[in-house]
Amino acid sequence: MHIVYIHQYYCNPSMAGGIRSYEQARRLVARGHTVDVITTDITGTQTRLGWRQTEDEGVRVHWFSIPYNNSMSYARRIRAFAQFMVVATAKAAALRADLVFATSTPLTVAVPGVLAAKLRRVPFVFEVRDLWPEVPIEMGALRNPLARGAAGALASFAYRNAAEVVALSPGMAAGVLARRPSTRTTVVPNAADLAMFRVRQDEVDRFRARHEWLGDRPLIVYTGALGAVNGVDYLVRAARRLRELDPGVRVLIVGHGKEWEPTKRLAASLGLLGDTVHMWEKVPKAELPVILGAATMSTSFVRPIRALWDNSANKFFDALAAGRPIAVNYGGWQADLLTGSGAGLVLDPVDADDAAEQFAKHCRDESWLAQARAAAHRLAVEQFSRDLLFDRFAAVLDRAAGRRAVPTTGE
């Protein structure tokens, strides 16, 4: 089967960002499919106009330079979305396809997906990574009634034209079905890359030894976006109280985004930066395993907005893959997993001092840490391994194309 795979922000392991599309595309190729990925070079460093093509383990990747970052205004982001929508439509329409797959965000990727599928008279499958327009509406980012109506119409357009929808969480699936109950929807969350996050103890020891500020101290890490939805200032405020409770604990924030500089300024103003709190710019995905391997505990945060509970953050599953406890400050399906399994902590959504109390209580409790690490590993292996979830994903594409699903071996 020839699959055109549209993802505006595709990344491979040499890049900083989630690698879900890379992992799914290369596994499709391994099963004998042909895959063309249509994406953007967001760095703005590409000098040649038009498209360039690379290959990732047999996947043909078509890149078009459209600069983008979380520091841009909403108007500039919308312009980037619209630009990709136009060029991706032309590219997708020019490629042979037996099935067209598009993954959000942004929601506008549905347009080239639907149009190319209609032109080629092949099925279209849509993947929902964030529930739009519900999330930006609840966050107050989408206030204009006309814009809300247009976004809602675009979501309905995507779901109505999809043979099937893949949703990254149960809450996202419920949102799809609330808008269009007849849409066949399958939940395929982000995954734990067990092989990638399997690191040797000597690598971890060398990492800790290289950083004098760390040594053998407990380490709490946050890896990923510092955007408006994340509220990583929560961790900095927790670190202020944590320093009083246990001055030896260290916090490492690794990432990028619109809130990077405000978060850094907050840490500096509290006298934490370079001591209790350390901040690194984003790193390639391939460098995360040793960082998480050195971590005592990982974290995932969102602002106290109910719609954000339905996220499927890569950082959550990376922690599971690394066998590390994870602390979250939100409810919903991930919090339920942690509570039920013992794989981490569910913190108060707004009380950072209480979070500090929880960190201080647990990050030197070797008995709790051992149990939580084991529980995290079990979740990774039994429920969220990449191969296990890829089978579910591939079954959706096979079903949409009218093919018999082909099983694969586990990880």
Nearest Cα to 115, choosing from 126, 105, 104, 124? 124
**35's tokens:** 């895959």
For 2-191+385-400, CATH number? Answer: 3.40.50.2000
State the pLDDT at residue 240. Answer: 98
The whole-model pTM stands at: 0.93
Question: pLDDT tens digits, residue range 138-150?
Answer: 887 778 888 889 8
In 226-311, the DSSP E strands lie at 250-256, 277-281, 297-300
In the predicted structure, residue 44 carries a pLDDT above the cut 50: yes
Asked if domains 2-191+385-400 and 201-382 share a fold, the reply is yes
Burial 107-126 (b: 16+ CB within 10 A, else e): bbbbbbbbbbbeebebbbbb
DSSP code of residue 296: S
Peptide bond into 67 cis (omega under 30): no
Domain positions in the chain are 2-191+385-400, 201-382
CA-only gyration radius of the chain, Å: 21
Q: How much is the mean pLDDT over the chain?
A: 93
Domain with residues 201-382, CATH architecture? 3-Layer(aba) Sandwich (3.40)
What is the length of the chain? 411
CA dist., res. 55 & res. 73, Å (int): 32
pLDDT band of residue 409 (cuts 50, 70, 90) is very low
Question: pLDDT tens digits, residue range 258-291?
Answer: 999 999 999 999 999 999 999 999 899 999 999 9
User: How do 326-328 and 277-281 pair as beta strands?
Assistant: unpaired
Question: pLDDT tens digits, residue range 192-244?
Answer: 999 999 999 999 999 999 999 999 999 999 999 999 899 999 999 999 999 99
CA 409 → CA 62, 271, 386, distances in Å?
Answer: 30, 51, 11
State the pLDDT at residue 235. Answer: 98
Structural element, H or E, at residue 61: strand 59-65
In the predicted structure, residue 60 carries a pLDDT above the cut 70: yes
State the pLDDT at residue 80. Answer: 87
CA 377 → CA 141, 343, 372, distances in Å?
Answer: 37, 8, 9
Nearest Cα to 99, choosing from 405, 404, 406, 398? 398
pLDDT band of residue 411 (cuts 50, 70, 90) is very low
CA dist., res. 113 & res. 95, Å (int): 12
Please state, as a whole number, how many other Cβ atoms lie within 10 Å of the Cβ of residue 32. Answer: 8
**Between 20 and 48, residue with greater pLDDT:** 20
In the predicted structure, residue 401 carries a pLDDT above the cut 60: yes
**335's tokens:** 């919090």
**Between 185 and 258, residue with greater pLDDT:** 185
Within 8 A by CB and 6+ apart from 379, the residues are 192, 320, 337, 341, 343
CA 392 → CA 132, 186, 210, 220, distances in Å?
Answer: 23, 8, 41, 33
Question: pLDDT tens digits, residue range 363-390?
Answer: 999 999 999 999 999 999 999 999 999 9
In 3-state terms, the chain is what percent helix, strand and coil (to 5)?
A: 45, 20, 35
pLDDT band of residue 405 (cuts 50, 70, 90) is very low
385: left (phi over 0), alpha (psi -120 to 50) or beta: beta
